[in-house]
Every structure is written in C-alpha cells, then in structure tokens.
Structure 1
C-alpha cells in the first residue's frame, strides 16, 4: 500500500510545490503565464457588469442624461468584449498547454521506466507507485497535471476577493447620519456579518480538507478494482481471445462476470462517495445559503433607510456575493493545492527512484579479436523479497569462442544466470569478472554492448521490420536483410508490401501480423545485427517444433562462429552440438561437460532428462510407424 509520508514538513511540501511549478514551466513554458493572465481577466470580468450596471441604474433614477447613459452602455459593451476575447485567447493557450502537459508528464515517467535499472522494473512497489500516479491523473488530473487548474482557481478567487473588497468597502463603513437607524448603520452589524462569512468559509475549508484526505487514502482501495477493470477491458478488446471465446462459448461467462463486478464496485463506490459528499458538503451548502440571504437582507436594510443608493445595492450585493464565493474558493483552492502536493510528491518520488546498481566508469577494452573472458566466482543471488537462493555458489569460466548450453528443470536458475551475466541484476555474494576485473567497475552501457540476447520473453515493437532488427531509425538495409536471411525469415520479409519498411502488427493499414515462429526469427536477426562478442539464446524458439528448433540452433551455431554463445533450451537434443553443457538444479550448477561425457553418467540429472525426452520421441516414432504400416 502506498501512502504519502506523514513526516513531510512544511518546508518539504513547499519545495515539492515549487518543483512542480518548475517542471510544468519547463514542459510547457506558455501554460503558467496564460493561466495567470486568464485568472486575472476571469476574476475582473463580473465586476465590469456589477459596477457599470450600478452606475446605469443610478443614472436612470437620477439625472437621466442620455449622453452619459450611452457612454456607460457603450463602455460596458466594449470593455466586456475586450476582456471576453482576451480571456478566450488565454483559455485556448491553456487548453493546448494542458493537452501537452498531460502527455509530456506521462512521457517523463515512461523515460524513467526505459532507463531505470531492470531491478526496479521488477519490483511490485515500483509498479504500484506508477499505477497510483496514473489513476490519480486519469480520474482527477491530480499531481503536476492539476497544478495549472488549481493555480487558475486560486488566482481567480484571490483577485475576486481583492476586487470585491474594493467594490464593497463603502457598504461596511458606519454612517453618522440617520441616528434613528443607528443599529443598521453601526459597525457591529457589519463585523457580525463579516464574521459569519469567514466562519462559513472556514467550515467549507475544513470539509474540503477532510474530503481530499479521504480521497487520497481511498486510492489504495481503488487500485485493485481498477486492475480488475483493466483485465476485463483487455479481455473484451483483444481479438486474440476471440477463438477461445467462440470455441468454448465463453461469452455468457465473461459478460455475467463483468456485469457482477461492475455492479458490486459501482454500488460500493457510489454509496461511499455519496455518503462522504453529503456529510462534508451538505452542511456547508446550507450555511452558505444562509449567509447569502443575510447579505441580501443587510444591503436591503441599508437601502431601505436611505443609507445607500439603489444602484449601490446592485454593486454591493454583487460584490459581497462575489466575496463570499471568492473567499470560500480561495481557501478551498489553497487547501486543494496543499493536498495535491501529496500527489506531486508521489510523482517526484517516482521520477527520483534510485538506481541500486553501481555504475562503474572503467571503459571496456575494444578488441577486434573478441578476446573476452567472463568468470563467475562463488556467485550467489536471491531475488528481492525472497529468502530462497536463485543461484548458489556458482563458479565457472566462459571460455572465449566456446558454445555453451544451459539446461535444467523450470526454476533451476538458468534465466537468473543470464540476468546476472548481462548485469540486469548484481549478485549479493561473490563476483563476476570480465578479463579479471569485476564487471561492476566497467561503464554499464559499454558492458551491455558486449551482449546480444534473445530472451525467452523477447519483445518486438510496432515499428518497421528493419527498425526492429537494427533497433534504430537509421540503419544499414543490406545488413538488416542479410541478418534476416541468416535467421531464415528473409523471404517472408521480401514478400511484405513494403519489405523492410513494413510495420509489424495491425496498428495501421500497412501493418502485418506475423506468426510466433516468425517473431522469434526476427528477434534472432536483431541479435545478429548487433554483432556482439557474446550471444545468448534464452529459449527463444519455444513456438517452434523440435525439428525447426534444432535447425535454428544448428544454423545459429554456424553463424556464431568464434563468438562466445550460450543456448538455453528445455529440448536437450537441440544442444548436443555445444562444447560444454551446464546442468542446473535448484540454483546450483551440478554437472558440466559435453553431451557424450554427461550421457555416460547414468546417475546424473542430464542422463535422466535426456532419456525422459528420448523416450517420448521414441514412443511417438513407434506410434507413427505402426499407424503408417496400417
């Protein structure tokens, strides 16, 4: 569960607020100036009508000068039009700025996800924090996205209060005339009314503060429900589920389950939200209505006894009403700004997620002969939050130019071995050496350049085929096609409508859907294009049949040449050609050697795994022979 820190001081909150304003200004420089100008214009606009209407009424009840009436009406129209046009211009700039801020603020988080250490990406707390930021943004535009709107509200209400005080000031000045109406003219009635206005606004602030805190805490309960909602949304939208839905007639099951979920969550939140809103805002609305009635009564009594003119009634009532609304809104918006800092803090805490990995500065020696040697020396590793070793006391050397196979049951530590090799994680015990130097001392990005990896859960993107292979916008097309040919998918790409420039997946009309086997071959072509001295295939051929997988591995064996290559596969027959086979079990390297060596050890796990798979193929082969003879 993610909560804002109760220990955040006033100074810390103020710093986060200014950091929020600075990042908004950096992302969209025109947004805050337009917000400030628009707030001033918006707050001033009602007072044009209030003041000039009062003067027009006084003129109609007084001298009735046509020239002065024409001047007042014309001036009111021109000034209202000018302010209206200027305000609309600022609103247009604001709307465009809010649109830009929404995406730029999201991109800022996405850039962090792309650049932060992989260890962070696999932490649940990291994702929960981002989810809370996303949901706060989508539901209420909280965080940095709400700062311009709250600034607009705060400045508009502040200017409204200032203007209303200036326009209503004379209504509260005690009058020395009409002593028979001394109570109405006395300062005590004015002070009493002002006190009631302030108390009403204070209660509104208190109600809004408590409600904002409740909403922030409520986000932790909303997130699990939103995750379920996202699951159903993806289930209903993704065409890949269409075959199973129809074959197994799951439409009714999904629809009923989705309906029950929506009904239960809707009843829960509608009841809670309505209950909390009525509790916090019902009394506030009643008090505000009462105060407004007293304002009208106060001004009406002054006009009735002749203390103010009829035109001034319009001015003072309008100004005091604006003050009542503006003052309450001022405190409320200030409170909301203060509450919103919790979300701004959450945003910056996410952006400032520390990278646990030590980044060295030593450059990796560039060698044309690829003379690199990596050694695991007593390496042990546990995943964060786990007490079980994923790898335990691993010691081995990856000899230059050798081709290794890594085998073992699920969960034996094969993929963890690759993650440590490529520094996606660092070991808690022992060390990994490159040419006798701890890999943590090398520049991280330079070290990563040593590896071409096709992971078990590799990803291609909705870019062109060529960009997927080269991982760059600008690339060598001949080289990319050569790599695709070596991976066995070149002809398929040539048959596409735009060749290398054809986008993968149906994100537009030119996109193509490809099979799982074709995806894997393009991923292998990507590894070839990088041309790194270490090549790793981490079960990337799961979608291929055993014969096709063996052909890919055999061909890749030729392509790898003098590179150091590591193959991970559950199908042991695909790894027979390797110089050395490493057998893992429960995080421990229990056997190593060539296929011919390991198969001689009848008590070893490799022998058991090999014969279990060989028996399966023998049985299938025998069945096929019998069926064929019949």
Structure 2
C-alpha cells in the first residue's frame, strides 16, 4: 500500500512561474514567442470587436434608411475587416507554434542536464527521483504545461484586454451589471482555485503510481530480462503487478475527478444566477426606457460578451494555476539542492605522467535513513602507482568505499584527500576526470563500437580507439564484423546491432578505460558474471595495460586479485586485515579462511567435472 503523503504548497506562484517562462523564451533565442503571443491577443480582441459592432451597425443603417450604396459600403467594410483580422490572427498563431516547441525543448534539455550532472547522492534521493519523474511528464507533449502555458497566457491577455474594453461600454449603461458579473465570477474562481490544487497536493502519491507502472513496463521490455521472463513464466506476474498499479492510478484520478466535478456544479449555478440578472435588466430597459433595436442588440451582445470575458479570465486563471503547479515542479527539480560543489569549486586538471595520492582520514559513512554506519573510521592511503584490492563479504561496504574514493559519495565523517586537498574543495566534475572506472553495472550506449570506447559521437581520435581495442584483445572480433569499428550496439535502437559476449564486453570496457587514460583505475566487480578463469584473465589484462597507474580492484573471487600490491579486507564496517596475499595467508585470519574455502570449492568443481567426463 502506497502511503499518501500530504504535500506542502508550491514553492513558486503563478507570477513567478510566468516570469520564469518569459525568461526561458528570452534567453533561448525565442523572443518572438513573447511578441507573437501579445500580438495574437490583440488580434483576438480586435476580431471580437468587429463581430460585436457588425450587426448593430448594419441594423442601425437599415433603421435610418440609408442609401443602398452606403449600406453595401458599410457591409463591405466589416467583411474586409473580418477577413484581414482573421487572416492576420491565423498567421500569427501558426508562426508562434514552433517557437513554443523550442522553449519546451530547452526545458527538456535542462532537465536532461540536471539528471546527467546532478550530485550522485541525489539519484538515490526519493524526493529528487519523484520530482524528476513528474517533471518529465510536464514536458513530454505539446499539451504539457511547459508549452501549453503560452496558449493560456495568450488567451488570458486577450480576456483581460477585452474585459477593459467591455467594462468601459457597460459602465455607461449600468455599473451594477459589472458588479454582479464580477461577484458571481469571483465566487466561482475561488472555489475552483482551491479544488484545482488537488493533484498538486497529492503529487507524490501520483508520482509513486507512475513510477511503478514505468518500472514494470521497462522491465517487461528489457531484453536482458527476456530469458528470466520465459524460463520462470513471469509474464502473468508482470501483468498482474501492472494491473494493480494501473488500478491504483485510475482510482487516484477517479477521486480527483470526483473533486473537480463539484467545482463544475458550483460554476454552473453561479453562471445561471449571473445570466438571469443580466437578461432581466436588459429586458427591463427595453420596456421601460425605450431602448431601440440596434442599441438593444449591442448591449445584449456586450453583456453576454462581458460575461464571457470575465469567465474567460477566471477559466484561464484556473488553467494557469494548474499549469503553474507543473512548472513549479519542474523548477523545483531544476533547482534541487546540490550537495557537491561544481563550477564554484577549485579547477583540477589531470597532468599526464604525474603520480597522485588519495588518502582517507577517519572516514565514516551512513546512508540516509540507516540505523548504523556502512563504514566506520576508515584510514587508508592509495599510494601513487599502487595496486589495491578490496575484498570482503557481500554488504561489507566495498562498493561504498570505492564510491567514496571516486567522489560519488561524501563521507558522513572524516575526509577524502587528493594530494592533501579535501576533494570537496574541487569542482566535482573535474575530480571525476581523474578516474577510469568500470562498475558492476556499466553502460553500453546506443552507438557504434568506436563511439562507446571514446564515449563521444562527435569528435574523437579514431586511431587511438583502434589502438585501445587492439591492446584490449578485441581487434580480431571487431574487424571480423561487416561494419568493423562502426558496428552498432544496442538492439533496442538499431536493428542491425550486435550483442557482445560477457568477456567481449569486458574487453570493450578495458578499451574504454585505456582511451580515457586517467590517473586512477577502479574496477568494482565488473566481471562477476564471468567464470573464474575468464575473470582472472581480464584482471591480468587490466594489470598489464595499466601498469604504473594507481588501481583499485574489487572482486568476490580472492584468487583474481593475488597480483595486487596490497589487499584490504572489509569486515564489521572497518578494515579488519591488510597486507599482501602471502602476508594475509600467513596471518591465518578471515582472508585465509575465505581463500581456502573458495580454492576448495573450485578444486571440487574441477574434480566433479572430470568425473562427469569419464562416465
């Protein structure tokens, strides 16, 4: 059961969000969106005024028995006016569309940059993830708030301008009419304004449902899960889970629509009262004051039109309010606090051939919401050119230690130093350039093999890419492919893409690490899916090709990291043992026990395999 969280009020109001959109349009080179929107509003009012006066003017001319030529000239003037204003309005509306799309695309680009560059802890922050999911819903279509808001602002501007024009006309007849219309419309507005905030106040609940459905849809389409879905018969289970999530999502919106319908009922009642009073007063003027036909038609149309302007204003304010809630969500996501320092930090540039040292001083780390530390009081130095192995049971904190070294996490206590400087003082993006890392989950982008090695699809050194692939032992495989280095990966995007084996993918990751040529190499169990021999070969390949660089290796197979200069064992949230492989074996502690256990398992496995072959 999803917990229903009570949401706070939006951080930004309608005026601030409107100004935000205006600034986006101005700074993104789409100033014409602002100008054309205002021009469209003026033309809309002009068209309305032409329609307002056309019938009364012609009727007045008929009543005065003007010559036929003058009557035809009057009709012709209005026809030409209608044609010109209508054509101009249509031209403006069509040409403003593309600029509005460009503004929305600029916001999409900013959200993508935020997602790609935000501090790593934000990716595990539930509030940020919900904001990002909801923000993407607010920018995905033409009718999304970040584009549709321009239509709302244009219509609202027209309504306000029309309101001012009509109010000057009606107050000359009877000011009380203006008061009645504004009173009833104002009541409708405040009722609707409160009701229309329902979805925003419950946006976390809605985002949770959307996340569930998105996750299940993506997993069902994930090629890597295809075998499991078939072997274990997970299709019906996926369908059942998705149905439950969809039912919960539908139930939420059913509740929301139930709330909205009461606002509609109140609006209908107030509209009826408003129209009854206006129509009664105009009929009374005809009977008592002898209003002529042309004036009656003008004031009758104006009174009805004034009501439309007022309700148009309130209706667009309702729409603008709801769109403002979405825009506020987008802004809160874009402006989400960054725990790391980026542009304001010290500049850091990797110097080729220079040896760097990383030191952890009394480092402790606890994940948000956890009741105890994952790591406690870690003191560790990664010396220049040293090969360090980190071993331990699952959940011991090995990956967390690597994340702290790489700057993906900041210590809860203590500090991480690069050549004596706290890494929190550096621009974190610059600090990341110091590392070539391959984690348990790595990314193969939808692109060519060469682009995946260079991590760039625009400008890269193709000769160097080929050299790195050759060093990684993947040249024969790549050159055997029809398109060679230009062969595409990721079948979800390219039909002709290939699938690399586990070992081939690891060699591609090695080529990528060689291409970056960073001072530090980090391997966080990327070979866990390979057999022990293949893993050992990959690790030895890394060792050969990255000789002289500082390296950190994590593996749950202890034999794979025997070549390292130093091995530390993480246990009980701290470093329990430290030394070379031979030193730790002589120590006879947990490392030696684990190593013997794994060695025995593999020996027994080989023996069993041999017996099978003999039978």
Output the TM-score relative to the length of structure 1: 0.88
Distance 1:442 1:252 in 2: 51
1:400 equivalenced with 2:401 (yes/no): no
Distance 2:9 2:499 in 1: 47
Residue of structure 2 aligned with 1:575, choices 561, 564, 574: 561
Specify the alignment match of 2:87 in structure 1.
85
| More off after superposition, 197-206 vs 381-390 | 381-390
Specify the alignment match of 1:584 in structure 2.
570
> 1:257 Cα deviation (Å)?
4.5
1:30 equivalenced with 2:52 (yes/no): no
Distance 2:178 2:345 in 1: 67
Residue of structure 2 aligned with 1:596, choices 582, 585, 588: 582
Residues 388-428 of structure 1: CA deviation (Å, up to 9, x unaligned): 22222222222222222111111212111211112122223
> 1:142 Cα deviation (Å)?
6.6
Q: Secondary structure at the match of 1:389?
A: coil
Specify the alignment match of 1:97 in structure 2.
99
Distance 1:226 1:211 in 2: 22
Output the TM-score relative to the length of structure 2: 0.90
Q: Secondary structure at the match of 2:72?
A: helix
What does 1:439-450 correspond to in 2, within 5 Å? 439-450=423-434
Q: Secondary structure at the match of 2:295?
A: helix
| More off after superposition, 254-263 vs 392-401 | 254-263
> 1:157 Cα deviation (Å)?
0.9
Q: Is the 8 Å Cα contact of residues 7 and 202 (structure 2) preserved in structure 1?
A: no
Q: Is the 8 Å Cα contact of residues 469 and 522 (structure 1) preserved in structure 2?
A: yes
> 1:521 Cα deviation (Å)?
2.4
Distance 2:16 2:236 in 1: 53
Distance 1:366 1:269, change over 3 A: closer
Q: Is the 8 Å Cα contact of residues 47 and 319 (structure 1) preserved in structure 2?
A: no
> 1:562 Cα deviation (Å)?
1.4
Specify the alignment match of 2:597 in structure 1.
612
Aligned-residue CA RMSD (Å) = 2.8
Distance 2:326 2:219 in 1: 30
| Contiguous gaps of at least 5 residues in structure 1 | 173-189
> 1:63 Cα deviation (Å)?
0.8
Distance 1:445 1:297, change over 3 A: closer
Specify the alignment match of 1:289 in structure 2.
272
| More off after superposition, 550-559 vs 288-297 | 288-297
Distance 2:347 2:133 in 1: 37
1:528 equivalenced with 2:514 (yes/no): yes
> 1:326 Cα deviation (Å)?
0.8
Distance 1:357 1:117 in 2: 6
Specify the alignment match of 1:376 in structure 2.
360
Q: Is the 8 Å Cα contact of residues 582 and 592 (structure 1) preserved in structure 2?
A: yes
Specify the alignment match of 2:408 in structure 1.
424
1:118 equivalenced with 2:103 (yes/no): no
Specify the alignment match of 1:3 in structure 2.
7
Distance 1:2 1:581 in 2: 49
What does 1:102-501 correspond to in 2, within 5 Å? 102-137=104-139, 144-168=146-170, 170=172, 172=173, 190-270=174-254, 272-304=255-287, 307-334=290-317, 336-337=319-320, 340-358=323-341, 367-472=351-456, 473-501=458-486
Q: Secondary structure at the match of 2:587?
A: coil
Residues 162-192 of structure 1: CA deviation (Å, up to 9, x unaligned): 232345455x1xxxxxxxxxxxxxxxxx455
Specify the alignment match of 1:176 in structure 2.
none
Specify the alignment match of 1:621 in structure 2.
606
1:19 equivalenced with 2:5 (yes/no): no
Q: Secondary structure at the match of 2:301?
A: helix
Paired residues, number? 607
> 1:454 Cα deviation (Å)?
1.0
Specify the alignment match of 2:537 in structure 1.
551
Q: Is the 8 Å Cα contact of residues 209 and 246 (structure 2) preserved in structure 1?
A: no
Distance 2:544 2:237 in 1: 51
Distance 1:353 1:263 in 2: 31
Residue of structure 2 aligned with 1:47, choices 49, 53, 70: 49
Distance 1:282 1:365, change over 3 A: closer
Q: Is the 8 Å Cα contact of residues 209 and 336 (structure 1) preserved in structure 2?
A: no
Distance 1:416 1:211 in 2: 46
Residues 498-526 of structure 1: CA deviation (Å, up to 9, x unaligned): 33233321313454343444333222211
> 1:282 Cα deviation (Å)?
0.8
Q: Is the 8 Å Cα contact of residues 402 and 565 (structure 1) preserved in structure 2?
A: yes
| More off after superposition, 122-131 vs 350-359 | 350-359
Q: Is the 8 Å Cα contact of residues 43 and 159 (structure 1) preserved in structure 2?
A: yes
Residue of structure 1 aligned with 2:494, choices 508, 517, 537: 508
Q: Is the 8 Å Cα contact of residues 2 and 128 (structure 1) preserved in structure 2?
A: no
Distance 1:462 1:312, change over 3 A: same
Distance 2:137 2:422 in 1: 42
Distance 1:444 1:330 in 2: 48
> 1:132 Cα deviation (Å)?
3.1
